[in-house]
A and B are shown apart, each in its own frame.
Chain A
Amino acid sequence: MSEHRIELTLNGDRHQATVEGRKTLCDFLRADMGCTGVHIGCEHGVCGACTVIVDGLAVRSCLMLAVQVDGCEVTTVEGLTGSDGALHPVQQALRDEHGLQCGFCTPGIVMTLAALTQASGQTYADSLLEAMSGHVCRCTGYQGIRRAALELAASTEPNKA
């Protein structure tokens, strides 16, 4: 058994923590850092509810160890809203298009869409929809999610800017 000192930037703030080697990133974020917006669904990489952004990329936080984010920049859904509580464009799109029902899968979907729309500046509908295949919504509210993704893609298309 090993314990490790890690340093990370979480939602814009520097943090230090001591973690056991076997602690998963999702457990660390929820239990140690209080980011309960990280929802744990299947815990084996299938459902996508625990998706967070690590160094700009959407990843499953149940499939990483906390010790692996040493030196990384991590964003959870808590880090997306503005200080005035304004919704992130992805959250606004999901709200406008009724892209959530019970809301359990939503934080993961938000983080995937946020990573993809922030990364390129040009977001194409097919890449957003393809990435949505990595999320399971047990309310089966996929059409609203799909509309939100399409709206995001349309709003970032260069010729429509």
Chain B
Amino acid sequence: MKPAPFDYYRPRSVAQACQLLAEAAGCAAVLAGGQTLMPLLALRMSQPLVIVDINKIDALTGVTGVSQGIRIGPVVRQNEIIANEVLRRSLPVLVSATRHVGHHQTRNRGTLGGSIALGEPAAELPAAAVALGAAIEVRSIRGTRRIPADEMYLAPYATALESDELITAIEFPDWPGHSVPLFREVARRPGDFALVGLVGMLTIESGRISRVGVTWFGMGPTPMKARRAEAALQGQSVAGLDIQGIAELAIVDTAAFDDRHASAEYRRTVGRRIFAQSLREALDVREAA
């Protein structure tokens, strides 16, 4: 048997799950879709004493409209996000990003909450949450709190989530219906982790950019918010926008690195290109509409 021994629990309620996490005192792992946790267990890179399987907690499923936003349960499968009509209409960029997560077969199990909790630096969904201004609702026996996605990611696979806390929802704020998605990903093969990627949204009102959020993935130890580029775009008139200059600014907010897949210089070069491309495309789409 490949995983090291553990006690397996399948609570039916959030309260029970939180109780189990508290009792395990840091020695538990939460099992959502398992598409990353299971290999870690099988390779014994992770050896929790307790597994808390949250797949049968009904309160952690479902996509619901809330005031000024959309609330998504952490156990909502990635393929459910892609098929969800409400999300396709209101958060198309989340749907585009999710299509790039793993493969069809892993998206049938893999969840939004699992990806958000893992904090893989090259993953699409944490970056989408940061870009769109999502909040992560977490609960423990100590209470409930909301972590802005922006403050969630500290280092590769290290998040602001405490060991006794469970994600109970991911809330995305409403964006105006005419907002335009920004999404690009460069990977060696479909389903591979991104070498470079960006995700975001842009709202244009009366010829000016009224709201913008853009975040890189695969470009540093965490999702990297393109703050300087956002500031340069905010409030600007669409006409005569210096797209190359803003793409240059966007690269400043990355921490591109060398690894066996690509050099830092390659990542920055591709990053500049895809940022300019997606921005140009977003402005064109807007003009055509």
Question: Which A residues lie at the B interface, using CB under 8 A?
Answer: 1-2, 4, 20-24, 27, 43-45, 48, 51, 57-60, 62-65, 67-68, 112, 116, 127, 130-131, 133-134
| A and B contact pairs by CB, cutoff 8 A, 25 listed | A1-B5, A20-B1, A21-B8, A21-B51, A22-B5, A22-B41, A27-B1, A43-B39, A44-B42, A45-B39, A59-B105, A59-B108, A60-B105, A62-B42, A63-B34, A63-B39, A64-B34, A67-B8, A68-B34, A112-B104, A131-B103, A133-B104, A134-B102, A134-B103, A134-B191
What's the nearest-Cβ distance from chain B to residue A43, in Å? 6
Q: Which of A45, A58, A65, A67 contacts B104 (CB 8 A)?
A: A58
Q: Which residues of B contact A63 (CB under 8 A)?
A: 34-35, 38-39, 106, 109
Given contacts A21-B8, A43-B42, A45-B38, contact A133 B189 (CB under 8 A): yes
Contacts of A24 in B (CB 8 A): 2-3, 38, 42
Residues of B within 8 A of A (CB): 1-8, 10, 31, 34-35, 38-39, 41-43, 51, 53, 55, 79, 102-106, 108-109, 189-191
Q: Contacts A22-B1, A63-B109 known; A133 to B191 CB distance under 8 Å?
A: yes
Instruction: Name the distance in Å between A24's Cβ and chain B's nearest Cβ.
Output: 7
CB distance from B3 to the nearest CB of A (A): 4
**Min CB distance, A90 to chain B, in Å?**
15
Residues of B within 8 A of A131 (CB): 103-105
A80 CB → nearest B CB, Å: 17
Q: Judging by beta carbons under 8 Å apart, are A23 and B1 in contact?
A: yes
Bound-state Cα–Cα, A116 to B189, Å: 22
Neighbour of B109 across the interface among A64, A67, A116, A127, CB < 8 A: A64
A128, closest chain B residue (CB):
B104
Contact of A2 among B7, B106, B191 (CB under 8 A): B7
| B38/A64 in contact, CB under 8 A | yes
A4 touches B8 (CB 8 A): yes
Chain A residues whose C-beta falls within 8 Å of the C-beta of B108 in the assembled complex = 57-59
Distance from B95 Cβ to chain A, minimum over Cβ atoms (Å): 14
CA distance A58 to B244 in the complex (A): 44
What is the distance, in angstroms, from A20's C-beta to the closest C-beta of chain B? 7
Nearest first, the 3 closest Cβ-Cβ pairs linking A and B are A134-B103, A21-B8, A44-B39
Query: Cβ of B190: which chain A residues have Cβ within 8 Å of it?
Result: 130, 133
Q: Among A1, A43, A51, A65, which residue has its beta carbon within 8 angstroms of that of B105?
A: A51
How far is the CB of A28 from the nearest CB of chain B, in Å? 10
CB-CB under 8 A from B106, the residues of chain A are: 45, 60, 63, 134
CA distance A2 to B51 in the complex (A): 10
Which residue of B has the minimal Cβ distance to A3? B8
Q: Report the minimum CB–CB distance from A75 to chain B (whole Å).
A: 14
Report Cα–Cα, A112/B31, bound state, in Å. 24
Residues on the A chain within 8 Å of B2, using CB: 22, 24, 27, 43
Q: Which residue of B lies closest to A21 (CB)?
A: B8
CA distance A115 to B231 in the complex (A): 47
B137 to chain A, nearest CB (A): 25
The answer to whether A134 and B104 have CB atoms under 8 Å apart is yes
Contact present for B6 and A22 (CB under 8 Å): yes
How far in angstroms is the closest Cβ of chain B from A123? 12
Would A21 and B105 count as touching, CB distance under 8 A?
A: no
What residues on A are CB-neighbors of B109 within 8 Å? 59-60, 63-64
Tell me how far the C-beta of B134 lies from the nearest C-beta in chain A, rounded to whole angstroms.
26
Closest to A4 in B: B8
Assess the B7–A112 pair: CB atoms within 8 A. Answer: no
